[in-house]
Amino acid sequence: MSMLAFPRRIRDRVQGGLPLAKLTTLRIGGPAQYFVEARTLRDVADTCAAARECGLPLHVLGGGSNLLVCDEGVQGIVLSLHGMKRIQAFGTKVQVQAGANLSALVAACSAAGIAGPQSLAGIPGTVGGALAMNAGGRYGEIADYVASVIWISPEGDLQSLYREEITFGYRSSMLRSGVVIETVIEGTAGEHAQLVARARTVLQEKLAAQPYSEFSAGCTFKNPKGQSAGRYIDQAGCKGLMVGGAKVSDRHGNFIVNRGDAKASDILELMQQVQRRVFEAFGVSLQPEVQIWPGRVLLAA
Ligand code: EPU
């Protein structure tokens, strides 16, 4: 397909063969066939329409912090909203665009005296990615603070959704099937210094337990109900296990780190080894939390 197939309005926004590795926190993966960085709602709408018209798969890139891109790269269009980062507080609410970093949202809430989202401190990624995955941790998930969302639905319609119209699950949400443009986050009134301190405490806890300074995609597997995947992996003796440049972190069993030269195939092979070992030791099938592009089904142990 030639670039000329793209509507004129977004043609100069489209890059062919853009390497994706640098846009992921694992620093792994091949190129996007087409890559678009949107700056406006119109860019997003045009890209969605172009994907539809050209019959190309559309992948939305957030912070790339929960993502494993395969070595061959991705066919179709990868859409980034990194050019859309506006954050605006009013009262106990914040209106934020999907491309803003979650950490910037948390900081803006603290600055504006809005309590709640500090429980999300230290979670990497963008607001759009966090909504698509319902990102969260020990103290809560983003769904707890959502008042409304504007998105382009899977049918291509621009819609505004109230919280009660959005289905969120554990590290999942219906929003993954469309493109989030912006959201309104709602907290309660709080005191600036206390909120900053709260966010710092939550962050420190994460820093103490997780391999923050290494290249990873965060937790690799979902926690089985009421249990910890990290503990299972640890107790199955997987910490330190390596395939090529991929290694199960010595710090937290549910993190697989790229020691610098890992291929996506190393990570996938290591994930399968971990799944197998945990299944043999405990009869538990770990399910990937990390998103794999293009979609790929791992052996269920
Ligand atoms: N544990 C071990 N060995 C390990 C890792 C953990 O024994 O190698 C034990 C810990 O000592 C603790 C228990 O397992 O008793 C739970 O560990 P932790 O508190 O680290 O939390 P987690 O359940 O492993 C979850 C989220 C993280 C989030 C943390 C902290 C999932 C899959 N993981 O981890 O989210 O940062 O809580 O809030 O829900 C992510 O989603 O990418 C992610 C990292």
Q: How far is the CA of 269 from the centre of ligand 1 (A)?
A: 22
Pair 120, 191 in one domain: yes
3-state SS, one letter per residue, for 249-269: CCCCCCEEEECCCCCHHHHHH
pTM over 0.85: yes
Taking CA atoms only, the protein residue closest to ligand 1 atom 16 is 228
Q: How many domains does the chain have?
A: 3
289 in active site: yes
Q: Round the average pLDDT of the chain to a whole number and report it.
A: 95
In angstroms, rounded to a whole number, what is the distance separating the alpha carbons of residues 61 and 67? 9
pLDDT digit string (tens) for 10-51?
888 899 999 999 999 999 999 999 999 999 999 999 999 999
Helix (H) or strand (E) holding 272: helix 264-282
Pair 170, 247 in one domain: no
What's the CATH number where 157 sits?
3.30.465.10
CB 196 within 8 A of CB 100: no
State the catalytic residue, choosing from 48, 70, 109, 219.
219
Pair 59, 169 in one domain: no
In angstroms, rounded to a whole number, what is the distance separating the alpha carbons of residues 132 and 212? 22
Pair 195, 97 in one domain: yes
Pair 226, 203 in one domain: no
pLDDT digit string (tens) for 82-100?
999 999 999 999 999 999 9
Could you tell me the sign of the dihedral formed by the alpha carbons of 261, 264, 265, 267, in that order?
positive
CB 252 within 8 A of CB 212: no
Domain residue limits at 232: 215-293
Residue 134 has pLDDT above 80, yes or no: yes
Pair 97, 159 in one domain: yes
The answer to whether residue 299 sits within a structural domain is no
Pair 92, 73 in one domain: no
The answer to whether residue 201 sits within a structural domain is yes
The answer to whether residue 135 sits within a structural domain is yes
Structural domain ending residue among the three candidates 33, 53, 80:
80
238 in active site: no
Q: How far is the CA of 51 from the centre of ligand 1 (A)?
A: 38
Mean pLDDT value of segment 141-152: 98
pLDDT digit string (tens) for 277-286?
999 999 999 9
Pair 91, 194 in one domain: yes
296 in active site: no
The answer to whether residue 11 sits within a structural domain is yes
State the catalytic residue, choosing from 9, 171, 176, 251.
171
The answer to whether residue 298 sits within a structural domain is no
What's the CATH number where 25 sits?
3.30.43.10
Residue 276 has pLDDT above 70, yes or no: yes
Q: How far is the CA of 230 from the centre of ligand 1 (A)?
A: 6
Residue 296 has pLDDT above 70, yes or no: no
| Burial class of residue 125, CB neighbours in 10 A (0-12, 13-18, 19+) | buried
What's the CATH number where 238 sits?
3.90.78.10
Q: How far is the CA of 20 from the centre of ligand 1 (A)?
A: 27
Q: Is 190 helix (H, G, I), strand (E, B) or coil?
A: coil
Pair 135, 32 in one domain: no
What is the pLDDT, as a whole number, of residue 3? 74
In angstroms, rounded to a whole number, what is the distance separating the alpha carbons of residues 182 and 100? 9
Structural domain ending residue among the three candidates 186, 209, 232:
209
